[in-house]
């Protein structure tokens, strides 16, 4: 029988009793860990909503050196090489994992242990993590910008599914229709899906995926192609930012490193680069 490696003995699932400890660890890097911390604040440490499980890696004294969410998506913060190695090996035994996201350097080290044979990922995205720390007041508000309502679930979910399919090559309405609709509805019920409808169609949409007192993470920013280059997206995002900065110290989101047009758009409302990230699709 194969004996466990020493570093594997230091990694174990986190329980609800570890909630305060995990949040304290994640809060040391509040912008980088907003997604994991936000998930724990919303759902607790152990929840089916995570579509995975939280793990902790401890040093010889029992202090946390790493926290990871391993499941459909893989997120982690490792403060030692041994923690990175353990999380990578654990993820290899998780066949449901579909993507990995983290700081470029951490992800590179993780992939070294995850794919020691040098296998290339199915898809790789180099992105910037942008942050907004000051409200942008240089444009007028949109009166119709508001949280989506449950009766708008179909429109919101269809659009979101199309965006995910374009980004990842996988349509969640086809692969996991019931689960995807439930997740979209839950976010709507949390009043975290921002929309602007005109004439029965969505002009603007964006989702608050995770939120802590330190940061809010936004994704899925969309402007209807027919309404682009009219300043609507800029006005809506600036308006969102002003409201969200009343609840947290920063608003953050990702933008592809090669998408100069999108970078200029976010810069026009005050977003600035915080760090470089890498997203790997398995």
Q: How far is CA 100 from CA 72, 192, 207, 280, in A?
A: 9, 24, 20, 5
166-190 mean pLDDT = 94
Task: Categorize the per-residue pLDDT at 262 as very low, low, confident or very high, splitting at 50, 70 and 90.
Answer: very high
CB atoms within 10 A of CB 71: 17
Provide the pLDDT for residue 8: 55
* Fold type of domain 6-120: Aminopeptidase (3.40.630)
Integer Cα distance of 171 and 100 in angstroms: 18
Residue 5 banded pLDDT, cuts 50, 70, 90: low
Domains 6-120 and 132-281 are alike in CATH topology: yes
For the chain, first and last CA: distance in Å? 30
pTM: 0.93
Average pLDDT, the chain: 94
Look at strands 11-13 and 52-58 and give their pairing: antiparallel
Residue 100: partners with Cβ closer than 8 Å, 6 or more residues away: 73, 74, 91, 107, 110, 111, 114, 279, 280, 282
Neighbouring residues of 109: CB distance < 8 A, sequence distance ≥ 6: 81, 84
Instruction: State the pLDDT at residue 7.
Output: 53
| Per-residue pLDDT tens digits for 51-87 | 999 999 999 999 999 999 999 999 999 999 999 999 9
Q: Where are the domains of the chain?
A: 6-120, 132-281
What percent of the chain lies above the pLDDT cut of 70? 97
- Whether 12 shows a pLDDT value over 70: the answer reads yes
Tokens 């305060």 label which residue? 20
Tell me the per-residue pLDDT of 200-252, one tens digit each, with 9 for 90 and over: 999 999 999 999 999 999 999 999 999 999 999 999 999 999 999 999 999 99
Which residues 6+ apart lie within 8 Å of 177 measured at CB? none
3-state helix, strand, coil in the chain (%, to 5): 40, 30, 30
pLDDT for the residue numbered 97: 81
pLDDT value for 3: 45
How far apart are the C-alpha atoms of 140 and 229, rounded to whole Å? 15
173 close to 158: Cβ distance less than 8 angstroms: yes
156-165: average pLDDT: 96
pLDDT-derived band at 9, boundaries 50, 70, 90: low
Mean pLDDT of 8-27: 93
Could you tell me the pLDDT band of residue 101, with boundaries at 50, 70 and 90? very high
Architecture of the domain delimited by 132-281: 3-Layer(aba) Sandwich (3.40)
Residue 108 has pLDDT above 90, yes or no: yes
């Amino acid at each position: 029988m194969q004996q466990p490696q020493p570093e594997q003995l230091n990694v174990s699932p986190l329980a609800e009793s570890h909630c305060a400890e995990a949040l304290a660890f994640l809060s040391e890097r509040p912008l980088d860990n907003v997604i994991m911390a936000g998930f724990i604040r919303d759902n607790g440490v152990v929840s089916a909503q995570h579509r995975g499980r939280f793990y902790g890696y401890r040093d010889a004294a029992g202090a946390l050196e790493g926290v990871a969410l391993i499941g459909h998506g893989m997120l982690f913060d490792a403060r030692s090489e041994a923690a990175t190695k353990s999380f990578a090996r654990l993820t290899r035994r998780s066949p449901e994992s579909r993507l990995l996201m983290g700081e470029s350097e951490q992800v590179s080290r993780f992939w070294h242990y995850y794919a020691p044979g040098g296998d290339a990922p199915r898809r790789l995205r180099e992105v910037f993590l942008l942050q907004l720390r000051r409200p942008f007041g240089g444009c007028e508000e949109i009166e119709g910008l508001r949280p989506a309502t449950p009766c708008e679930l179909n429109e919101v979910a269809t659009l979101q599914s199309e965006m995910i399919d374009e980004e990842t090559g996988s349509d969640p309405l086809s692969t996991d229709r019931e689960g995807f609709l439930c997740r979209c509805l839950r976010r709507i019920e949390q009043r975290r899906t921002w929309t602007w409808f005109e004439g029965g169609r969505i002009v603007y949409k964006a989702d608050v995926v995770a939120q802590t007192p330190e940061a809010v993470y936004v994704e899925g920013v969309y402007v209807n192609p027919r309404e682009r280059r009219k300043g609507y997206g800029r006005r809506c995002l600036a308006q969102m930012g002003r409201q969200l900065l009343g609840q947290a110290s920063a608003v953050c989101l990702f933008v592809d490193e090669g998408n100069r047009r999108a970078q200029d758009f976010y810069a026009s409302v005050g977003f600035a680069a915080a760090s470089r990230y890498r997203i790997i699709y398995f």
